[in-house]
């Protein structure tokens, strides 16, 4: 059983996102370790890019800081290896955009990421119609697909039918960011996706509080928290301690 499959043994799972390099590389490694050891079941590890189309202002700012701090694909991969050395055993899924991966070299990127201990990839700007080249080199690491409320029924069926790892279901239209309330019809949207797949369905975008996470967790297999995680930890004077508390609060809400 691989790490992603193992993570879903106790559903719903808590899946925070945090970019490596923010507010600096060493702190971000410490933060991700703290999240992993205090309640996160899977972590989406951010690979920063200068034009993050799907991200709201909080994550855009964080990834820009990471780039200014000199984070690179090579350093991100080395950080994944360091986290494994520190005893982090939960899945670490690299989330980023295509350009940095292409610049690094796709085959080399996938090979080096796998060797370091990465468990899969989420690439928001890689549509299924253009993913053959990437998937041809991923071997047994999943390219995790995203679905949105605007996805047509045909597209939803096509993506869901061949889903690997889990499906990242975007709960709202637009960019990442916390919302005051959950999207109307989220339960129906999740049910529509489940009609096409046996893969786990995990929901992200707009989830900012443990209470919202608990509500989503009653419908989905996993709850993805990005903006709230980055904002809360990134503005803290003690980011590692804040990460521990953040993970524990969301874990408690989902259990």
Average pLDDT score over the chain: 92
Domain contains 20: yes
Asked if residue 53 has pLDDT above 80, the reply is no
CATH number of residue 149's parent domain: 3.20.20.70
Domain contains 202: yes
pTM for the full model? 0.93
Q: Are 164 and 156 spatial neighbours (Cβ–Cβ below 8 Å)?
A: no
pLDDT of residue 52: 65
Give yes or no: 44 in active site: yes
pLDDT of residue 171: 81
Count structural domains, the chain: 1
Domain contains 195: yes
Give yes or no: 249 in active site: no
Of 33, 41, 44, 215, the catalytic one is 44
Place 180 in a pLDDT band, splitting at 50, 70 and 90. Answer: low
Domain contains 96: yes
Instruction: Give tens-digit pLDDT for 142-155.
Output: 999 999 888 888 98
In three-state secondary structure terms, 178 is strand
Rounded to 5 degrees, what are φ and ψ at 203?
A: -110, 135
Domain contains 1: no
Instruction: Give tens-digit pLDDT for 111-159.
Output: 999 999 999 999 999 999 999 999 999 978 999 999 988 888 898 899 9
Of 33, 41, 55, 119, the catalytic one is 55
Q: Are 124 and 168 spatial neighbours (Cβ–Cβ below 8 Å)?
A: no
- Residue 210 tokens, joined: 């443990």
Q: Quick one: average pLDDT of 52-72?
A: 88
Place 205 in a pLDDT band, splitting at 50, 70 and 90. Answer: confident
Place of tokens 């975007």: 170
pLDDT of residue 102: 96
| Closest CA relative to residue 241, chosen from 38, 14, 22, 19 | 38
Domain boundaries, position 121: 11-254
Percentage with pLDDT > 90 across the chain: 80
């Amino acid at each position: 059983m691989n790490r992603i499959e193992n993570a879903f043994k106790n559903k719903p799972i808590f899946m925070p996102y945090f970019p490596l390099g923010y507010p600096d590389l060493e702190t971000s490694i410490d933060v991700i370790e703290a999240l992993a050891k205090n309640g996160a079941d899977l972590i989406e590890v951010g690979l920063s890019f200068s034009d993050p189309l799907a991200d709201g202002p909080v994550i855009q700012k964080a990834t820009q800081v990471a780039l200014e701090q000199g984070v690179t694909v090579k350093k991100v991969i080395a950080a994944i290896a360091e986290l494994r050395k520190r005893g982090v055993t939960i899945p670490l899924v690299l989330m980023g955009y295509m350009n940095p991966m292409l610049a690094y070299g796709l085959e080399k990127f996938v090979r080096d990421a796998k060797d370091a201990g990465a468990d899969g990839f989420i690439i928001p700007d890689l549509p299924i119609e253009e993913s053959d080249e990437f998937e041809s080199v991923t071997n047994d690491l999943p390219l995790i697909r995203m679905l949105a409320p605007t996805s047509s029924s045909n597209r939803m069926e096509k993506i869901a039918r061949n889903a690997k790892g889990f499906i990242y279901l975007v709960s709202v239209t637009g960019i990442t960011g916390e919302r005051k309330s959950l999207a109307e019809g989220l339960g129906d949207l999740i049910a529509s996706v489940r009609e096409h797949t046996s893969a786990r369905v995990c929901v992200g975008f707009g989830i900012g509080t443990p209470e919202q996470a608990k509500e989503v967790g009653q419908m989905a297999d996993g709850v993805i928290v990005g903006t709230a995680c980055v904002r809360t930890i990134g503005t803290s004077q003690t980011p590692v301690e804040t990460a521990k508390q953040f993970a524990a609060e969301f874990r408690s809400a989902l259990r």
